[in-house]
Amino acid sequence: MSKELLFISQHWNIEFNHAAGETASVFFRAIKERKEILGRRCPACKRVLLPPRSFCERCFVDTLEWVKVGKEGTIEAFTIVYEQFRGLPKPPYAIAYVLLDGASTAMVNFLKKVDLNNLQEALERIKIGARVKVVFKRKRRGRITDFWYELLHT
């Protein structure tokens, strides 16, 4: 008898609600209601964690202080996606980790308003160290997709 494992293909399409938690609720409410981006400062290492965390993963202490960070920042890493992934936008699109002014950790989001049809031209504009601004949707729902990044000095 063969002991080779079988693989069974299944399709699940499940919609569910979950509690965002205390820290994420404050973070998303600030985005939705005031167009503010809030991080949490660690009382030990003083880093401003963004997205906010209820504890510092380096110091293992609770973070207690909310800090409003800037609406501009610097690209630390990015990728340009040319393949279609289920549940994600139609390619091409760019995603960037941005260190917002006043934050100690970078936060990922879409980088929009850049022509990505020519990769070489796109890479001349999207660079590590490039400055970006945060742009908010007019109608916000309290989600990370309520804002995106756009290059400054385009």
Contact positions toward Zn ion, by CB under 5 A? 42, 44-45, 56, 58-59
Q: Residue 40 or 116: which CB sits closer to Zn ion?
A: 40
> What's the full length of the chain, in residues?
154
* Distance (Å) of CA 108 to CA 15, 78, 97: 24, 9, 4
Q: Residue 42 or 94: which CB sits closer to Zn ion?
A: 42
Q: Give me the least distance between CB of 38 and Zn ion, in Å please.
A: 17
Q: Give me the least distance between CB of 46 and Zn ion, in Å please.
A: 7
Whole-number Å distance between alpha carbons of 128 and 136: 22
Beta strands 107-112; 38-41: pairing state: unpaired
Q: Residue 59 or 95: which CB sits closer to Zn ion?
A: 59
Q: Residue 44 or 128: which CB sits closer to Zn ion?
A: 44
Q: Give me the least distance between CB of 137 and Zn ion, in Å please.
A: 32
Cβ within 8 Å of residue 136, ≥6 positions away: 31, 35, 146, 147
Q: Give me the least distance between CB of 57 and Zn ion, in Å please.
A: 8
